[in-house]
Structure 1
Amino acid sequence: MPTRQQEIAAVLKVVPPFADLAALQAEIDRRIGFIQERLRASGLKTLVLGISGGVDSLLAGRLAQLAVETLRAAGGDAASDYRFIAVRLPYKEQHDERDARAALDFIRADEVCVVNIEAGVRGLAAQLAHLHCLPAPRRDFVLGNLKARCRMAAQYAIANATGGLVIGTDHAAEAVMGFFTKFGDGACDLAPLSGLVKSQVRAMASHLGAPEALVHKTPTADLEELHPGKPDELAYGVSYAEIDAFLHGQPVSEAASARILAAFDASAHKRGLPLAP
């Protein structure tokens, strides 16, 4: 009978460890093909993705750019219309702006635009009386989720305006921990990194030639103003190495296993469709 560890890996469709570089390249090709297939099937021509400066959006962005470039090269009716729009979505001044610019330099998107969400977040927050009476840490957390949702609203507005699909960056290591904002960065039309663990995301980005400083950069959602640059692993209570090992069916400590299982169970509502009678 499958263990919970195996059941979770199956639910998240976790990709087994790459056997060699050929397997890694095959996975890159498969995901580029997936993006192309879904874009063609939609009848649309544009892909939209927010670029943060982290390795997840860096990889997803480069896959998207390669996908549209190949579609254009293949020719056909209106093939020249395929394009990828990379969107910078800072709140005020982003502390790792240099990393975001380096990511854009690597991705080489057809179009880059910048939408600063500060005014929108502040304007909406000012109208929400329920936020005003919250203790500072709780208010900061709620505002962090509001930022993520404003970013996704901006991406969908751009996609609507340009006839496009929104790409997400969720992968198995974040999905198992529920480390995304519901209807925020968890909302998208395509999730080309789905099923990958963090080490695989890094390996694929490195194989494509991404700067190693970005590939191995400490991951952070950077949504909380009281804890700027807070590492994902600090929020998790476990390391990405432990999460990856768990998802690949390898031994982990009892404490790590318990933390991962608890996070998976608590975040089930984020991974499911809305409840209905």
Structure 2
Amino acid sequence: MSNKTVLNLEGINNHIVNWLKTYAENSGVKGFVIGISGGIDSALTSTLCAQTGFPVLCVEMPIHQAQSHVNRANEHIDQLKKRFPNVFNDRIDLTPSFETFKNNVPTCENEKALHLTLANTRARLRMTALYYMAGIHGFLVAGTGNKVEDFGVGFYTKYGDGGVDVSPIADLMKSEVRELARFVGVPESILVAKPTDGLFGDDRSDEDQLGANYDELEWAMLEAEKGSKIENFEGRQAEVFAIFSRLNRINQHKMQPIPVCKIPKELKIR
């Protein structure tokens, strides 16, 4: 399953950096804040933001985080600070806040629903922390979602990692993120790491959760955009196309604007 395209990496890099710079200047803000997870998307986003010359705050926000994720996040932050004098960092340990929340809300007998809800709670706590940091510094929260996650399968938390001010890499497929990340000098340990959202406190990967890897989902997304139907495929291709179609359908509530109930004028008597 391949839809390989040739990328003008320097051109894409410069385009995103100029877009971020122009947006920040027009918004009158002082810089950017990014949550650093140890994954490739946040590493690329923070590197692109750093190139704008605006102050960039990289925030690590562990919640029972795997040590490997912490190590990769720190490696990236240290490298970025050496490369760009406008980059600084902070660490907010949200584990106590998460535990306090968990111990003060009603429990649930449906373990699957409980675990998923708590995973999303982690993402929403991080969003709250990022907006706190953005508020005190006068910064914008830069999102780290890519095109497959944000507009293909909706693989993010509503009002969690989906709660951002700008989305600089949301028009890049995951394969394009990998290429651009290598081009801008993201550490090799991050480039080769298996993608994971780290929200469950274990070693499950994005592929484990989704049922397909990003190259497969990218293929399915491009096929869907061409108008292909599941009847066109068989075997693994049919399986992946079905996974993509299902996730795209059930997660439209994340991708579409919030529905607003419009009141007929005749019901508003003035």
TM-score interval w.r.t. the shorter chain? 0.7 to 0.9
CA deviation profile, 1:4-43 (whole Å, cap 9, x unmatched): xxxxxxxxxxxx95425xx121111111111111111110
Contact preservation (8 Å) 2:46, 2:58: yes
CA deviation profile, 1:29-85 (whole Å, cap 9, x unmatched): 111111111111110112000000000000001001111x2xxxxxxxxxxxx3110
Q: Give the CA deviation at 1:102.
A: 1.4
Extract unaligned runs of 5+ from structure 2. Answer: 262-270
- Larger-gyration structure (1/2): 2
User: CA–CA distance in 2 between the matches of 1:24 and 1:18?
Assistant: 11
Which residue type is aligned with residue 34 of structure 1?
A: W
**Is structure 2 residue 128 aligned with structure 1 residue 159?**
no
**Is structure 2 residue 113 aligned with structure 1 residue 134?**
no
Tell me which of 75, 79, 82 is aligned to 1:102.
75
User: CA–CA distance in 2 between the matches of 1:118 and 1:137?
Assistant: 21
**Is structure 2 residue 250 aligned with structure 1 residue 275?**
no
In structure 2, the partner of 1:243 is 217
**Is structure 2 residue 176 aligned with structure 1 residue 204?**
no
User: CA–CA distance in 2 between the matches of 1:268 and 1:223?
Assistant: 21
Q: Give the CA deviation at 1:211.
A: 2.1
Tell me which of 15, 18, 38 is aligned to 1:30.
15
Extract unaligned runs of 5+ from structure 1. Answer: 1-15, 70-81
Report percent identity of matched pairs: 26
Q: Give the CA deviation at 1:93.
A: 4.7
User: CA–CA distance in 2 between the matches of 1:24 and 1:246?
Assistant: 24
Contact preservation (8 Å) 2:16, 2:48: yes
Count of residue correspondences: 243
Q: Give the CA deviation at 1:246.
A: 2.5
> Is the partner of 1:230 in helix, strand or coil?
coil
User: CA–CA distance in 2 between the matches of 1:259 and 1:139?
Assistant: 23
**Is structure 2 residue 180 aligned with structure 1 residue 195?**
no
Which residue type is aligned with residue 118 of structure 1?
A: T
Which residue type is aligned with residue 91 of structure 1?
A: I
In structure 1, the partner of 2:265 is none
TM-score normalized with structure 1 length? 0.83
Which residue type is aligned with residue 67 of structure 2?
A: H
Contact preservation (8 Å) 1:56, 1:201: yes
Contact preservation (8 Å) 1:17, 1:248: no
Contact preservation (8 Å) 2:65, 2:198: no
Cα distance change, pair 177–128 in 1 and its aligned pair in 2 (3 A): same
RMSD: 1.8
